[in-house]
Structure 1
Amino acid sequence: MEGDSLSTQPTVFAPGEDRLSEEELRALSPQELIWRNRTVAALSEALIMMVDDEMLNIEMTQAFLTEAGYKQFVQTDQPEQAVAMMRREMPGVLLLDLSMPRVSGLDILATMREDPSLRHVPVIVLTSSTDPQVKLKALALGAMDFLSKPVDPSELGLRIRNTLAASAYREYLGQHDALTGLPNKLRYRKVASEVLAHARDSGTSGAFLHIGVDGLGRINDALGRVVGDQMLQRLAKRLASGVQTEAEGELASEHHNPTLFRFDGDEFAVIIPAMDGVHSAAAFMSKVLEDATASFHRSGSPEVLVTCSVGVSVFPGDGMDIDLLTRNAGLALRHAKQAGPHRYEFFSPKFNEQALSRLDLGAELRHALGRDEIELMYEPRVELATSRMVAAQAIVRWRHASGRVIEGDELMDLAGTSEMDVALMEWVFEQLRKSMKTWKAAGLQAVPVGVKASMANLHPRDLSHLVNAALAGGIEPRHLSLELQQVAALENLPAKDTAAIALLRKSGVRVSLDRFGRSASAIHLRRLACDEVKVDESFIRDMDNDALVQGIVLGMGDLARRLKLNCVAPGITTAQQLSVLKKNGWDQGQGPLFGDRLNGLNFAARWLTRTGKPQRVPVAGDA
């Protein structure tokens, strides 16, 4: 029965690796860490401050506490000096008399409560007063405990120990992540401030690393947050082990070792206090990427590999301000994820410029649809063997008020980062439906039209809903080709969640794997059944001047033919590119060489016919 129960539950451990024991999991928890690290001996090092107008009381109390094992004390019988002394010394606990001349203990408590740096100092009141109202007022002002004089030494020792332990535990919880036990963002800022201060004094350099889990949201959606949390715990353990190996090494400074932190959501961070150069950080990054990999599987489902991406900002080169370096590392992480999973990027000033530009553009894009600033253009796709126009490519173009034109892949990426991808897809399908209705009314035969769909933020079920709504609106399945981009996001989804795309193919919609060779690779062909591959435009652009790139392009064409997939070359600009592709049996191509991008009416007038017989595309130099 136990084996059957376990077989139905997801696990987050690679095959051949034992499940983490309960003891190991608890070892990551704050409770275990605090009681493991805050022993009685450690608590005895806490600074105890005593404020009493009778020095004899102070001396007797200190004698009691010294015998109990406490070692560090600071005291004053001048209560008016107590607050200033606390700001200088910052005690672990304050033993405070209430009945004192000039400045009473209640006055000191009231001042502490209004001071952000002192309001959390634990206070034990020692007083001979028997007035219950005085006791209540002291507790209301923040006192944690209350002992009446004369005080029993053993009881005082126990009260101090419990107060210090509770304070240490509270401090720990405030600076550590509850799920993984790692230091949190608050602790990150404290350590970062210390590291940067030391770097300014010593002239050393270091780095901030931000580590993001690739596709954690999709794991949570598909398998539940419990599995996602378990995966984060597993990754935390692996990353912590890797970072710990660098202690006292070449990436450590005189005062700090490399330290791992947990940020909110799917993000971790590492502060490298010192390094000789970027090559040191790069070597460490490769190790981090190796550590930040885990797999999980459950009965009846394929194994899912979880990876991380890393963004890096280097000080002093990228700044010496905590907020600036943190933001720069975050920007670098975002670019790493956009380039594909399981990679790292160093910050570049251009990232900041791009981020500011995209932030402004993303906000404007939300209003661009309503202002009719966006239009749908069409580009002919040509059968290379016959030079006939056999299909079209839908291209979204935004003529920004500044005069800048943003279109194609750039606009699709912007829509994804601005959470406008669904709205833009809906708009594209609506415009395509209108175009096809106009073509049909004019007696012209429509051709298949390729529509780009980024899967970075779009769930297959949502895409299926959008496509089915377009089909219900009058678009025929045979006239629609979905060109899927950022398909790496589909890797972490169970087969049942990607089945929606298979159902679209079954209905007659063609499916294309776009940007092949860049954000899509042969491994995605195993997971995603499709009709064609469309190579990344950069390969075609560089064919003329790079024999290696040309070899890669021809190899991708051979792979497609072996798999009986249509192979499309976008961005063809020269007759030389066309000649090489035709000679090596490529199926289709598109690009400036074959004609301009046109709106729906002009495209129909130039390329569509009443008979449906495809027109030949005249190309200079084409035999």
Structure 2
Amino acid sequence: MNEKISKLHVDELFTQLKDAVIMMVDDEPLLMELLQAFLEEEGYKNFIAVEDSRKAMEILDTKRPDILLLDLNMPHVDGFDILEAVRKLKMMQKIPVIVLTSSSDGATKLKALELGATDFLSKPVDSSELALRLRNTLMVKAYQDQLTYYDALTHLPNRQLFLDRLEWSLKKTRRDHERMALLNIGLDKFKQVNDSLGPRTGDEILTEVSMRLIESVRESDLVSRLGIDDLWRQLARLGGDEFSILLPQVAQDDSAAFVAERIQHALAQPFVVDGEEIYISASIGIALYPNDGTESDVLMQNAGAATAYAKQQGVNSYAFYSKEINELSKKRLSIEAALRRAVENNEFVLHYQPKIDLHAGKVTGCEALIRWNSPEMGMVPPFEFISIAEESGLIVPIGTWVIEEACRQQVDWRQQGIGDLMVAVNVAGPQFKMANLQHVIESAINDSGIDPRYLRLEITEGMMMGGEDSLIKKLNDIKALGPSFSIDDFGTGYSSLSYLKRFPIDELKIDRSFIIDVPGVRDDAAIVKAIIAMAQSLELSVVAEGVEELSQLEFLKSLHCDVIQGFYFSKPLPAEDFAAFVLAGGELDALHKS
């Protein structure tokens, strides 16, 4: 694969030497004809000849050549002035300039060098010397461009080169009164795959993604539909799992949608790494010029906002930017800023949902669930801020506080005479990946004085993907401190019997999506029955969450499910209300109903 990637990008993505656009500015048209004739014999084929030096800068800006052959002594505007103007413009600073000069004095050459000349070619021009200097200069440019403007992993253009192309395309689009589209492509849940399977697998997937993106936008029907022969050259990797593609000359919105759909189709087939099939999808945001912005930074921002919106709608979707999306984007930024203040001001509280042991007929524990008591927004439920906390990295300090507070509260209940109750705490993916998680848990245990046997840590199946040996060691090291582990949302991820046998897990929590329609929906009922039977055979306790109806409770009791959690018994409660619920024995009444 790597050899294929290298050959493809060296031969096609990097400007091939013979395909270089060579611009010549000289007031001697006969000389330029001779130079072009010789270079055509050498295999070069793209030339721009400018006899009137007054037009040089306009043509440079429009055509963007790969190299400039520049005469110094010309009427109207001499080569020194052109060279100085070129080097002052950010978008032209890297264009190599070979100066054509009949002057041999050192002062002339020194001045040209000071103004940014790359090389010199003496008049009358020696054809062999011209071929060598041109080849060497283009080779150096290609090497420097590769280091500066191309992503080292995928060999796609990087953010810097893409922004440069975007600026240039915007100028051309304005001048020609055309429309264009910008697509921002974000891979869905790639971080989860990268964290679970490791960076090597992540890199292989990103490399293959780049290949598929290239092929998807090079296919003949797509190119012919948009009328752009080198559309695939407008593709870039902006960083991480984020890609972008620029679509110039887009007259209709459906052309951008067509490209988005083709990209999603290209990514639909499984990625095979080390014999394992991995599925990756993409959420795509689309911003249109001039409707959604006339400047590059605005278009980039709006395309990114549309991608974020598409991700919220579910995986493998695309969305056009709109004012409503802009408002949502601003709201997310506002929530992130408020979250940072909330961490500093300790604005979070925990509510506790009772967990009823069906065998003992009483509350034996609870799940600690975070709430945000915002001064501006009131009590904010977790679904409105957890995803933002994870994306911003704030989930790590928030998760640390949750563990510490849950341990402290468990001890407080014990001191109130309620007894030792098992308190379960969700551990988010980024928090679980922390190198110091063991230290965080140990400190929480020591500072609170909790008996660690009554602390249960809930992790998801996705966290168990990849690097089994290191994960098993991490789990065992934490278990040595006393806590136990539960797999949350079981049945929705990637677990297998081999995982359950090898990992030091104590409990399975059946995801509420399987509980909602039991016992009426046969498939869900069969899944729940199978999970409970499997857990019992592995000597794991099993929790059913999301129980809301008597029929669900009776069905689970008939299968000898161990623990029930859900609104049928109680919603999550503040600490004081939870204590009152336990002391009042309300759960026994609920059980007697069944």
Determine if the TM-score, normalized by the shorter chain, exceeds 0.5: yes
Change (3 A) 1:438 1:516: same
CA contact (8 A) 2:486 2:507 kept: yes
Between the aligned partners of 1:526 and 1:33, the Cα distance in structure 2 is 50
State the superposition RMSD in angstroms. 4.4
1:301 maps to none
Shift of 1:427: 1.8
In the TM superposition, what whole-angstrom CA distance separates every residue of 1:192-216 from its partner, at most 9, and x where no partner exists? 9979979x99999996543364447
Of the three residues 294, 310, 316, the one matched with 2:273 is 294
2:405 maps to 431
Shift of 1:418: 3.2
Between the two proteins, the alignment pairs up a number of residues equal to 569
**Matched AA of 2:267:** V
Between the aligned partners of 2:48 and 2:474, the Cα distance in structure 1 is 69
In the TM superposition, what whole-angstrom CA distance separates every residue of 1:371-396 from its partner, at most 9, and x where no partner exists? 34322222221123453112122222
1:422 maps to 396
Of the three residues 102, 107, 115, the one matched with 2:89 is 115
Shift of 1:135: 1.4
Shift of 1:467: 1.8
Matches within 5 A, 1:351-370: 356-370=330-344
Between the aligned partners of 1:543 and 1:570, the Cα distance in structure 2 is 12
Gaps of 5+ in 2: 294-298
Of the three residues 362, 370, 373, the one matched with 1:388 is 362
Matches within 5 A, 1:474-553: 474-485=449-460, 487-519=461-493, 521-522=495-496, 525=500, 528-543=503-518, 548-553=523-528
Of the three residues 427, 432, 439, the one matched with 1:458 is 432
1:379 maps to 353
1:27 maps to 7
**Matched AA of 2:33:** Q
Change (3 A) 1:566 1:108: same
Change (3 A) 1:208 1:33: same
Between the aligned partners of 1:276 and 1:86, the Cα distance in structure 2 is 30
2:296 maps to none
1:248 maps to 219
Between the aligned partners of 1:344 and 1:401, the Cα distance in structure 2 is 36
Matches within 5 A, 1:433-448: 433-448=407-422
Task: Work out whether 1:618 is the aligned partner of 2:594.
Answer: no
Between the aligned partners of 2:350 and 2:579, the Cα distance in structure 1 is 13
Change (3 A) 1:498 1:118: same
Of the three residues 266, 274, 285, the one matched with 2:264 is 285
SS of residue paired to 1:378: strand
CA contact (8 A) 1:48 1:74 kept: yes
Between the aligned partners of 2:493 and 2:331, the Cα distance in structure 1 is 23
Between the aligned partners of 1:562 and 1:201, the Cα distance in structure 2 is 70
Between the aligned partners of 2:31 and 2:412, the Cα distance in structure 1 is 98
SS of residue paired to 1:592: coil
Structure 2 length-normalised TM: 0.79
Shift of 1:414: 4.4
Change (3 A) 1:241 1:407: closer
**Matched AA of 2:428:** S
1:311 maps to 283
Between the aligned partners of 1:279 and 1:129, the Cα distance in structure 2 is 57
Between the aligned partners of 1:34 and 1:522, the Cα distance in structure 2 is 43
SS of residue paired to 1:501: helix
CA contact (8 A) 2:285 2:310 kept: no
CA contact (8 A) 1:560 1:566 kept: yes
SS of residue paired to 2:568: helix
Bigger shift: residues 554-563 or 581-590: 554-563
Of the three residues 1, 15, 23, the one matched with 1:48 is 23
CA contact (8 A) 1:534 1:568 kept: yes
Shift of 1:587: 1.6
Of the three residues 285, 304, 329, the one matched with 1:327 is 304
Of the three residues 97, 102, 123, the one matched with 1:149 is 123
Shift of 1:545: 7.3
Change (3 A) 1:520 1:65: closer
SS of residue paired to 2:548: coil
In the TM superposition, what whole-angstrom CA distance separates every residue of 1:514-555 from its partner, at most 9, and x where no partner exists? 112334644653563311111223433444875554444344
Between the aligned partners of 1:320 and 1:488, the Cα distance in structure 2 is 37
Shift of 1:476: 0.8
Change (3 A) 1:276 1:386: farther
Of the three residues 311, 316, 321, the one matched with 1:344 is 316
Q: Which has the higher helix share?
A: 2
Between the aligned partners of 1:532 and 1:201, the Cα distance in structure 2 is 64
Shift of 1:513: 0.6
2:16 maps to 38
**Matched AA of 1:155:** E
Between the aligned partners of 2:502 and 2:328, the Cα distance in structure 1 is 33
Matches within 5 A, 1:129-208: 129-167=103-141, 170-171=144-145, 174-186=148-160, 188=162, 190=165
Of the three residues 547, 561, 566, the one matched with 1:572 is 547
Task: Work out whether 1:211 is the aligned partner of 2:187.
Answer: yes
Gaps of 5+ in 1: 1-19, 297-303
Between the aligned partners of 2:529 and 2:245, the Cα distance in structure 1 is 42
SS of residue paired to 1:586: coil
1:74 maps to 49
Shift of 1:264: 1.8
Shift of 1:168: 5.0
SS of residue paired to 2:427: strand
The structure with higher relative contact order (CA 8 Å, sep 6+) is 1
CA contact (8 A) 2:507 2:540 kept: yes
Task: Work out whether 1:236 is the aligned partner of 2:207.
Answer: yes
Change (3 A) 1:617 1:249: farther
In the TM superposition, what whole-angstrom CA distance separates every residue of 1:74-129 from its partner, at most 9, and x where no partner exists? 232x5444434544555554443334455433223222323345444433223333
